[in-house]
């Protein structure tokens, strides 16, 4: 598993986070919607972004604000906006963001140097918290098995899995409380979680996720065509065989940097393409949990 700092500008979520937060820092808000409409006008977007980045990096106060607590809140907006994909024409915006990533490089470096955000590259935290999901219950599907877990979500959601994140972070009780995908309430309930014994696989970036898929391969179905619509790729799709992973690991952790560099991309793997979707930033999926009707 990767130990060197991962480039968060490798992925569309990382690119959108830095671009949209840069614009917000200089007073120009951009919706992280399904169309990514602002970024589809490449000429205008590039001009505005270049000016915004220049203004931020040349002003210590603006740079401090950029790497401050609002950055994590912006990440929550990105993860919520991406969690059901984006419209086909949104791929134009994603393509533009990829081309403009060198302009955003000073902002990525500022985040990496910021003491308050270094944990984005850290392995699973010692203090783990469960966060109320959109259904008000635990973050799994109580009757699902590994054989029925295909679909949009790469993170397994079965009767024997559970997802936690570290906490507290800043003013929030957990990372998922501000960055969780598809949260239905503004102030979700949380409770502490005693982590199970056993090794945890770390997804720190794309190479780690592809390595996991190639070590534990399984054919996946793009049941609703959402992966194709989002990435433009047609497969064949390969995902982790979570039942096999569970035989070797107690859990799998996705770092924040891993999320930003890996999520919502079509990644080449040995037997096809793979795609990480539906996984909270900093989320650790515990694979050997006893079935339960609720976490609350």
Do 83 and 223 lie in one domain? The reply is no
Q: Are residues 152 and 281 in the same domain?
A: yes
| Residues 210 and 81 grouped into a single domain | no
Range 214-232 burial, b when 16+ CB lie within 10 A, else e: eebbbebebeeeebbebbe
Same domain, 67 and 140: no
The answer to whether residue 59 sits within a structural domain is yes
Do 107 and 15 share a domain, yes or no? yes
Is 2 a domain residue?
no
**Domain check: are 95 and 160 in the same one?**
no
As a whole number of angstroms, the distance between CA 176 and CA 163 comes to 10
**How many structural domains does the chain have?**
2
How would you list the strands of the sheet with 272-274, edge to edge? 217-220, 237-240, 272-274, 267-269
* Co-location of 73 and 209 in the same domain: no
49 and 188 fall within a common domain: no
Distance (Å, rounded) from C-alpha 40 to C-alpha 195? 44
Q: Which residue has the tokens 């936690």?
A: 164
pLDDT value, residue 169 = 93
pLDDT of residue 121: 95
End residue of a domain, out of 60, 90, 121:
121
Domain co-membership, 166 together with 85:
no
Q: Whole-model pTM? A: 0.91
Which structure tokens are listed for 155? 């993170």
* Last residue of one domain, picked from the residues 67, 94, 121: 121
**Tens digit of pLDDT at every position of the chain (296 positions):** 444 467 999 999 999 999 999 999 999 877 665 557 788 788 888 999 999 999 999 999 999 999 999 999 999 988 887 766 555 566 777 888 889 899 999 999 999 999 999 999 999 988 999 988 744 444 444 444 555 445 667 888 777 788 899 999 989 999 999 988 777 677 888 888 888 899 999 999 999 999 999 999 998 888 778 788 888 898 899 999 999 999 999 999 999 999 999 998 999 999 899 999 889 999 999 998 766 544 55
Residue 64: predicted pLDDT: 96
The confidence score (pLDDT) of residue 31 equals 67
Q: Is 295 among the domain residues?
A: no
Across the chain, mean pLDDT equals: 84
Task: Tell me the CA distances in angstroms from 180 to 93, 94, 176, 259, one per residue in order.
Answer: 23, 22, 4, 12
For residue 21, the enclosing domain spans 8-121
Question: Do 94 and 162 fall within a single domain?
Answer: no
Residue-wise pLDDT for 29-67, tens only, equals 776 655 577 887 888 889 999 999 999 999 999 999 999
Residues 97 and 154 in one domain: no
What per-residue confidence (pLDDT) applies to 271? Answer: 86
């Amino acid at each position: 598993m990767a130990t060197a700092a991962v480039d968060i500008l490798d992925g569309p979520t990382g690119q959108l986070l830095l671009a949209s937060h840069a614009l917000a820092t200089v007073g120009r808000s951009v919706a992280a919607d399904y169309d990514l409409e602002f970024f589809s006008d490449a000429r205008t977007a590039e001009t505005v972004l270049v000016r915004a980045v220049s203004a931020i990096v040349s002003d210590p106060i603006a740079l401090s604000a950029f790497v401050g607590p609002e950055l994590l809140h912006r990440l929550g907006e990105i993860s919520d906006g991406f969690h059901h994909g984006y419209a086909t024409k949104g791929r134009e915006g994603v393509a533009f963001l990829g081309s403009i990533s060198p302009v955003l490089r000073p902002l990525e470096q500022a985040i990496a140097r910021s003491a308050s955000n270094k944990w984005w590259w850290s392995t699973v935290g010692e203090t783990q918290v469960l966060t109320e999901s959109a259904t008000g219950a635990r973050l799994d599907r109580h009757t699902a098995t590994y054989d029925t877990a295909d679909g949009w979500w790469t993170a397994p959601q079965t009767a024997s899995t559970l997802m936690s994140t570290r906490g507290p972070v800043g003013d929030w009780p957990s990372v998922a409380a501000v960055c969780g995908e598809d949260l239905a309430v503004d102030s979700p309930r949380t409770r502490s979680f005693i982590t199970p014994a056993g090794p945890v696989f770390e997804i720190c970036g794309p190479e780690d996720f592809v390595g996991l898929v190639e070590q534990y391969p399984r054919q996946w179905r793009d049941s609703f065509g959402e992966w194709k619509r989002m990435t433009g790729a047609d497969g064949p799709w390969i995902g982790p065989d979570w039942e096999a992973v569970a035989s070797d690991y107690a859990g799998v952790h996705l770092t924040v940097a891993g999320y930003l560099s890996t999520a919502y991309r079509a990644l080449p793997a040995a037997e096809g393409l793979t795609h990480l979707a539906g996984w909270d930033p900093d989320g650790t999926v515990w694979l050997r949990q006893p079935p339960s009707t609720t976490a609350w």
